[in-house]
Structure 1
């Protein structure tokens, strides 16, 4: 199935670059391009894309405001130059399924679109660690249901997810196949009762697994 994407950025060259990257990927079609937030809001409502790729700082309406209004209509991936913590927190609060920095590279951009379309979430690795550190800062280590049910290898995978590693990096770190990583992630999600890798990471930080294995 082709993933239909609307992308919005006030810089034309950036929009063109993103469109070229996404159109070159298998199974992705850019169905709309917008230069401001109001145009993006209208395009999303009319075209009903599978994923909206939104910049934060745009004229007329910023990407966070658009996210708040459309997150029930489509999956949203935020992409921005600015890695301010409050942007990440607000985007996730408003229902975004991904948050990338513009220098993340083509592979991560495509991966974020595909993850969002499949109901998963992907955040730039360096932002994931900061996000979970803020979530855990000063908090109590809790007994998180399902963590004790994870196998040793599943714990290895889950800890690396919590440290912001991609699937490819996890496979290399543990010297296992990429398909095996994906199988472990599916099992981990089932055991923990979570929907995506961001929630896996949250459970690991909450349970104190990251503090125990530095």
Structure 2
């Protein structure tokens, strides 16, 4: 069962809308070091001191835990920072309860949420950071690397990719590292955008 946990600063009361969205949710202070479980969704205000490090720390403690960053003034730059730190969601602090619940549903199944308007700006910013290349992916990656890259870009975890391709997770990680290096991307998000719109003829879906 998914647990929604809101990290708060002791001097700032929790959002009424968040509490309405998740009446069974937990409100805790970061200093209390709550024990996290796989499947938990942690909501963290961007105004919290050193929130980027806290996001990374939560993901390191429990990789299967989703983190959503709440911002009172959302920006493309802050969204990039949040996602690069390991967050799976980024939204306005005053989002309505129905939207907060929708975000939780998306993150719970391994999806990514940044909102449609911000997503458009966000994708444009990421694309400008990626190296230009007209060289076909088939000439850059091996057939197996391309299979791994496409599976990861489709949102599958290393474990799911391993099961799909009949290889070990260790092998998936090795192929993924090679893919990152060859395509000059830093993470799964950049890989997904690098592959977006590219047609490959050598590997079927």
Shared fold (TM-score greater than 0.5)?
yes
Unaligned runs of 5+ in 1: 24-28, 146-189, 210-214
Scaled by the length of structure 1, the TM-score of the pair is: 0.57
Structure having the higher helix fraction is 1
CA distance in 1, matches of 2:155, 2:92: 23
Which residue of 2 is the match for residue 12 of structure 1?
A: 13
Determine whether 1:88 maps to 2:100. no
CA RMSD of aligned residues (A): 3.3
Q: Is the 8 A contact 1:144 1:207 kept in 2?
A: no
Q: Cα offset for 1:112? A: 1.4
Partners of 1:191 and 1:91 lie apart in 2 by 24
Q: Measure the CA separation in 1 of the matches of 2:102 and 2:191.
A: 18
Task: Assess, with a 3 A threshold, how the Cα gap between structure 1 residues 91 and 192 changes in structure 2: closer, same or farther.
Answer: closer
> 1:140 matched to which residue of 2?
132
- After TM superposition, the runs of 4+ consecutive aligned structure 1 residues lying more than 6 A away are none
**Residue of 57, 61, 78 corresponding to 1:69:** 57
How many residues of Structure 1 are paired with residues of Structure 2 in the alignment?
A: 150
Q: Any stretches of 5+ residues in structure 2 without a counterpart?
A: 139-149, 157-187, 200-205
* 1:84 Cα offset (Å): 2.8
CA distance in 2, matches of 1:17, 1:81: 13
Larger Cα-atom Rg: 2
